[in-house]
Structure 1
Amino acid sequence: MRILCLICVVSLSLAAYAGESDIYAAGLAAYKAKDYPAALTDFRFAAQQGDANAQRNLGIMYDNGQGVPQNFSKALKWYRLAAEQDNPLALSDLGAMYTKGRGVHKDYAEALKWFRLAAEYGSAAGQDNIGVMYSKGHGVPHNFVDAMKWFRRSAKQNFADAQFNLGTVYDKGQGVPKSYVDALIWYRLAAHQEDPRAEVNLGTLYYKGHGVPQNYADALKWYRLAAQQGDAVAQYNIGWMYAKGHGVAQDYTRAAKWFQLAANQGYAKAQYNLGAEYANGQGVPKSYVEAYKWINLANEGGFRKAGPILPILASEMTASQLTKALHVAADRKLPAESGSEPPPKKKAGQRLATFQASYPQRLS
């Protein structure tokens, strides 16, 4: 099962309040259309007129590198200007910058100060992030009772991150008795707001039959919704289901397609399983160069089972193949090789990479 993790910063979403100027509204429309240059122009004009929402949104664009080079110092500047006008979202954003050490030195006490100010204005993001601080013991004593209190306050405002975090607490039994039924309730609420993490975890509850009857079709449905948003864990899980034939006809070619999507995002388990498919010639042409490339990347990504496979693969490769594999592993953008390679010489006691007999897990 995906190892669940609490968020430590609020997701950056655009603000929109009544009374916004026509220029600000135009900027908001341009942003939603991904016309970042136009959005930047309109937000900057409105921000210079003192519009706190525009100032905050400029901070978001510098924070994310949307239409401008990513610049945490400039993001911090615009967040501060909006926060000086008591914009609750900007207050929470400032706390997030101190939590992550973006543009400033990491400082949990300072982060908590800003989150509390945001919470005083009723910010759901601020409330949720205080809960995260208590759940992790960042700047405050570790206390899941207090974390739950803040998560619930935020979740009552229908804040998806808090709903996801409540699902996580119940799923893992952190400070409360483990309850898959309660986890299901909170994940579903967040998933209905298209939170991809909640969609994945909801799918995994259906996959394992936790809190609901086991249902691969429903698991696949939720994984696909998350995968459509580019979630690497969801992409990996779909590949896993095709590889195992769970809820779908076993299809290694489709499994490889989904593993590839997740592997391209740096997801180590997907890199390992994609390498296994190349090593075994399942769904892709057999290629020890590609196998070594992806399994080596998985090893570098911290997937412990990958390391012992590398010398086995290396022993089956020529010196030139190994050199090429090491070269392409350093450049993940290179496309996969076409064609297949000669079968390896079998050696006693050695076994090439195979699919892992464990449920999909999120490692970070």
Structure 2
Amino acid sequence: MKKIVFILVLLLGVSLSDGYAEHNKGSKQKESELYKKACDGGYVRGCYILGLLYDIGDGVKQNKQKASELYKKACDGGDMSGCYNLGLLYYDGDGVRQNKQKAKELYKKACDGGNMRGCYNLGFLYDIGDGVKQNKQKASQLYKKACDGGHMVGCSSLGNLYSNGDGVKQNKQKAKELFEKACDGGDMKGCYNLGLLYYDGDGVKQNKKKAKKLYKKTCDGGDIGGCFILGVLYDNGDGVRQNKQKAKKLYKKACDGGNMRGCYNLGVLYYDGDGIRQNKQKAKELFEKACDGGHMGGCSNLGLLYAIGGGVRQNKQKAKELFGKACDRGLNSGCKNYKILNEQGY
């Protein structure tokens, strides 16, 4: 679970005010000393901030165990951010022994105390049944609480439940409203999901131009999935004027960001020389990256290159291994090609 942490410096008292000034001067060691003094003096927010410094190694040597102790002190003193961050450590087993039940309890305490990130994370556990019995209805309630409290990812996640009818009665209009709220609030997954509704005409009037704008916003906002989908639109001329060069750039951005479908599609462009200069060696590298990243189409296409000697030295044994890998993960074309090579004695 991705950790989201914020340094919220409350200028209450001379010590924290001085600490903030020292931070602006770049004296992070002095800053940590002042937060320690505040913590030792009973100001639990100082304990939380000092724990955060140890957690991320900012001005002090990173020490997750020390961070957990300080978060606990903050949490016990009523600082809900301390409870939330301690829950993150227990969830990941980071500096403490992994204990998802403990993480759940801490998220609940944080949520009950008004920390919306705690509500969202607790909802996520119930949504996927991680450390708790899966309960989509409970997840929907917690996502709603988070959303109402200004947590935009909670809005987007609640929108997903309404879109699919999970734990709530299916309501595409409600899903659309929640995705809009999330998107307007800066959550790129909300923009992405709203784009899907407009692209498919799912509960809304189909509008591919609107979908394209939302995918662009998503991509520009750092959500790589949006870059990939936008690349597909330009690749196929779907709702936009076909532009293979634009598709190439978007697939590359997606691939560089870890989206293996982007790597695969970019590999196809290079192999076919479709709107770009053909480069089978580059295609091979991209299929290899996609395959290593878990995209079985990449494994299958890499197998084809080795089977025919396309951009690589022909190696049918290697091809068979790659087809077998794809087949084992459920790709039918991999199974068929594996069978062909097996019958040929490879």
TM-score, structure 1 normalization: 0.75
**Larger-gyration structure (1/2):** 2
**In the superposition, relative to structure 1, how do residues 62 and 215 fare at CA in structure 2: closer, same or farther (>3 Å)?**
farther
Amino acid at match of 1:144: K
1:1-364 paired onto structure 2 within 5 Å: 8=1, 11-17=4-10, 19=12, 21-26=16-21, 38=26, 40-41=28-29, 43-48=31-36, 49-50=38-39, 52-53=44-45, 55-57=47-49, 59-60=51-52, 63=55, 72-73=64-65, 75-314=67-306, 315-317=308-310, 319=312
TM-aligned CA deviation for residue 209 of structure 1: 1.6
**In the superposition, relative to structure 1, how do residues 114 and 287 fare at CA in structure 2: closer, same or farther (>3 Å)?**
same
Equivalent pair of 1:10/1:129 in contact (CA under 8 Å):
no
* Counterparts of 1:135 and 1:145, CA distance in 2: 8
TM-aligned CA deviation for residue 53 of structure 1: 4.2
Sequence identity percentage: 26
CA deviations over 1:117-176 (Å, ceiling 9, x no partner): 212312111122221222222333211122222222222212112112101211222122
Equivalent pair of 1:151/1:163 in contact (CA under 8 Å):
yes
CA deviations over 1:160-201 (Å, ceiling 9, x no partner): 121121012112221223322111111111111211211211
- Structure 2 gaps, min length 5: 316-335, 338-346
Amino acid at match of 2:78: D
**In the superposition, relative to structure 1, how do residues 189 and 288 fare at CA in structure 2: closer, same or farther (>3 Å)?**
same
Amino acid at match of 2:169: P
**In the superposition, relative to structure 1, how do residues 296 and 133 fare at CA in structure 2: closer, same or farther (>3 Å)?**
same
TM-aligned CA deviation for residue 64 of structure 1: 5.5
3-state SS of the aligned residue for 1:282?
coil
3-state SS of the aligned residue for 1:38?
coil
TM-aligned CA deviation for residue 228 of structure 1: 2.0
Equivalent pair of 1:155/1:162 in contact (CA under 8 Å):
yes
* Counterparts of 2:44 and 2:235, CA distance in 1: 50
TM-aligned CA deviation for residue 55 of structure 1: 4.6
CA deviations over 1:276-320 (Å, ceiling 9, x no partner): 111111243211111111111111222222222112222233656
**In the superposition, relative to structure 1, how do residues 39 and 147 fare at CA in structure 2: closer, same or farther (>3 Å)?**
farther
TM-aligned CA deviation for residue 104 of structure 1: 2.6
**In the superposition, relative to structure 1, how do residues 80 and 313 fare at CA in structure 2: closer, same or farther (>3 Å)?**
same
**In the superposition, relative to structure 1, how do residues 298 and 116 fare at CA in structure 2: closer, same or farther (>3 Å)?**
same
Amino acid at match of 1:232: I
Q: Which has the higher contact order (CA 8 A, sep 6+)?
A: 1
Equivalent pair of 1:10/1:125 in contact (CA under 8 Å):
no
Greater displacement, 153-162 / 59-68 = 59-68
What count of residue pairs does the alignment treat as equivalent? 310
Equivalent pair of 1:9/1:129 in contact (CA under 8 Å):
no
* Counterparts of 2:294 and 2:187, CA distance in 1: 26
* Counterparts of 1:199 and 1:66, CA distance in 2: 33
TM-aligned CA deviation for residue 25 of structure 1: 4.5
**In the superposition, relative to structure 1, how do residues 148 and 295 fare at CA in structure 2: closer, same or farther (>3 Å)?**
same
Greater displacement, 80-89 / 302-311 = 80-89
Which structure shows the bigger proportion of residues in helix conformation?
2
TM-aligned CA deviation for residue 251 of structure 1: 0.5
* Counterparts of 1:84 and 1:248, CA distance in 2: 56
TM-score, structure 2 normalization: 0.78
Equivalent pair of 2:29/2:59 in contact (CA under 8 Å):
no
Task: Quote the residue 2:320 is aligned against.
Answer: none
Greater displacement, 256-265 / 298-307 = 298-307
Equivalent pair of 2:305/2:314 in contact (CA under 8 Å):
no
- Structure 1 gaps, min length 5: 1-7, 31-36, 323-348, 351-364
